[in-house]
Amino acid sequence: MASSRNPEIRKDTVFNRWVIFSPARAKRPSDFKSKSPANPNNNASKCPFCAGNEHECAPEIFRIPRDFTSDWKIRVIENLYPALSRDERQQQQLQNPKPNAHNQCTLSGFGFHDVVIETPTHTVQLFDLSATEIGEVLLAYKERIKQLECHESIKYVQVFKNYGASAGASLSHSHSQIIALPIIPPSVSIRLDSMKEYFDRTGKCSLCEIQPEELLIKQSTHFISVVPFAASFPFEIWIIPNDHLSHFHELDDEKTVDFGGLLKLMLLKLSRQLNDPPFNFMIHTSPLHAGVSQLPYSHWFLQIVPQLTTSAGFEMATGCNINPVFPEDAAKVLREVNVLM
Ligand code: AMP
Ligand code: ZN
Ligand code: ZN
């Protein structure tokens, strides 16, 4: 396996970046474990996200079920310390931003920063929920994105989850976040330009064209989970819908249970194989008001990144990551690890 491979530099044609695979720097792929497992269930006593402590949270946007007579299963709330201001008056300053005297550009910090509380119970993590329950969390993301879409000045919505302190989580109660931005972030533009370049060259969508073979971890009815060919991080996983669809929030409701089941399986496999590592997941979708010409090459997917390595000077300077585990080896390990669902 790893020891017989030479270093290789692979191009990620979705994010348009180069990744260096250098197995000499690593132990065997199967020996990878997190040194700082997420261990997220402490501090339950003062947790604002627990059922019964709703008054300690910023205002609720909606809950599931909507019916206030039964207990809630999921709450979408405002972030108490938002990165952006939801004050509508700030929107006016978004029109025609002009560079200042020093040619620097500033926009008002309008946008939305929400928290999705995935369960009322402190000790339950996302991967402890059933496929149907995870599907309901995905439906909550979808519903909130559709609300945010109504704001003309919102251009892009990022859904993400931080799990474990070294993945950026400040609270251990299972939650994810949604940030709605009045700009299209650079990595989104780079991704779309890169997928367009592939489409212009081949006439095909780069994600519809994936032939997973050795990179496949698991196939469900409507999705595949793979380690990407040029994974930037060891044991990185992408869950990709089989159907070509540009926007996550257009996913059919009935496919969310299938997606929930595959997401659960992938999170359990990472947890089992890598000693409950901290991780992030991100939904990569298209800008809300994407033009018709962008739709043929933009294809949403979910990226899971277990936090096993640290980015340092070389990665910061070059934007090239060094990944000690070849994707084919990571996929084999993840395919073979058995978990109880
Ligand atoms: P993370 O930092 O990824 O764990 O996400 C937790 C988020 O919850 C942070 O962005 C906090 O600003 C936010 N937060 C913390 N306490 C509260 C609260 N009482 N109500 C609403 N949001 C909160
Ligand atoms: Zn809690
Ligand atoms: Zn596609």
Domain residue ranges in the chain: 8-31+46-87+108-336
Structural Rg of the chain based on CA atoms: 20
Give the list of residues 6+ apart from residue 238 with CB closer than 8 angstroms, or none.
Answer: 225, 226, 227, 228, 301, 302, 303, 304
Which ligand is nearest the CA of 56, by number? 1
CATH top class, domain 8-31+46-87+108-336: alpha beta
Indicate the range of 37-46, 72-81, 103-112, 176-185 predicted with least confidence. 37-46
- Cα 302 to Cα 32, 125, 131: the distances in Å are 23, 18, 16
pTM > 0.85: yes or no:
yes
Sign of CA dihedral 132, 133, 139, 145: negative
Who contacts 237 (Cβ-Cβ below 8 Å, separation ≥6)? 217, 225, 226, 227, 266, 270, 303, 304, 334
Integer Cα distance of 37 and 275 in angstroms: 6
pLDDT at 41: 64
Q: Which residue has the higher pLDDT, 32 or 280?
A: 280
Q: What is the mean pLDDT of residues 288-310?
A: 95
Note the Cα 298 to chain centre separation in Å.
16
Can you tell me the distance from the alpha carbon of 39 to that of 61, in angstroms, rounded to the nearest whole number?
29
Q: Per-residue pLDDT averaged across 274-280, rounded?
A: 97
Ligand nearest to the CA of 301: 3
Q: Is any ligand 1 atom within 6 A of the Cβ of residue 82? A: no
Q: Give the mutation target among 76, 86, 171 for probing the ligand 1 site: most ligand atoms within 8 A of CB.
A: 171
> Does residue 115 have its Cβ closer than 6 Å to ligand 1?
yes
Per-residue b or e along 134-171, where b marks 16 or more CB atoms closer than 10 Å to that residue's CB:
bbbbbbbbbebbebbeebebbbbbbbebbbbebbebee
Which element (helix H / strand E) includes 270? helix 255-274
pLDDT value for 23: 82
User: How far apart, in whole angstroms, are the C-alpha atoms of residue 198 and residue 102?
Assistant: 38
As a whole number, mean pLDDT of residues 211-240 equals 97
User: 230 CB less than 6 Å from ligand 1?
Assistant: no
> How far, in whole angstroms, is CA 106 from its chain's centroid?
27
Ligand nearest to the CA of 175: 1
The residue type at 117: I
| 68 closest CA partner among 88, 86, 54 | 54
Mean pLDDT of 263-289: 97
The residue from 113, 122, 173, 175 that is catalytic is: 175
Check pLDDT > 80 for residue 291: yes
Catalytic-residue membership of 244: no
Inform me whether the pLDDT recorded for 4 exceeds 50: yes
Distance in Å, CA 244 to ligand 3 centroid: 4
Burial classification of residue 115, based on how many CB atoms lie within 10 Å of its CB (0-12 exposed, 13-18 middle, 19 or more buried): buried
H helix or E strand, kind and range, residue 241: strand 237-241
The residue count of the chain comes to 341
Q: In a mutational test of the pocket of ligand 1, which residue from 46, 77, 80, 159 has the highest number of ligand atoms less than 8 Å from its CB? A: 80
pLDDT computed for residue 40 by the predictor:
67
Count of Cβ atoms closer than 10 Å to residue 250 Cβ: 14
**pLDDT recorded at residue 137:** 98
Q: What is the DSSP string of 144-213?
A: HHHHHTTSTT--EEEEEEEESGGGT-S--SSEEEEEEESS--HHHHHHHHHHHHHHHHHSS-TTTT---G
Amino acid, single-letter form, for residue 82: P
For ligand 1, whether the C-beta of 170 sits within 6 Å is yes
CA distance linking residue 82 with residue 64, whole number of Å: 22
Query: Which residues have a Cβ under 8 Å from the Cβ of 288 and sit 6 or more positions away?
Result: 148, 149, 154, 155, 156, 157, 247
SS3 content of the chain, % helix, strand, coil (to 5): 30, 20, 50
Cβ-proximal residues to 209 (8 Å cutoff; 6+ apart), any chain: 202
pLDDT single digits (tens) 100-150: 889 898 888 999 999 999 999 999 999 999 999 999 999 999 999 999 999
pLDDT at 2 over 50: no
Confidence check: pLDDT of 186 > 70:
yes
The pLDDT confidence band at residue 153, using thresholds 50, 70 and 90, is very high
pLDDT score at 69: 86
Give the chain's mean pLDDT. Answer: 94
Mean pLDDT of 195-201: 97
Q: Kind of pairing, strands 17-21 and 8-12?
A: antiparallel
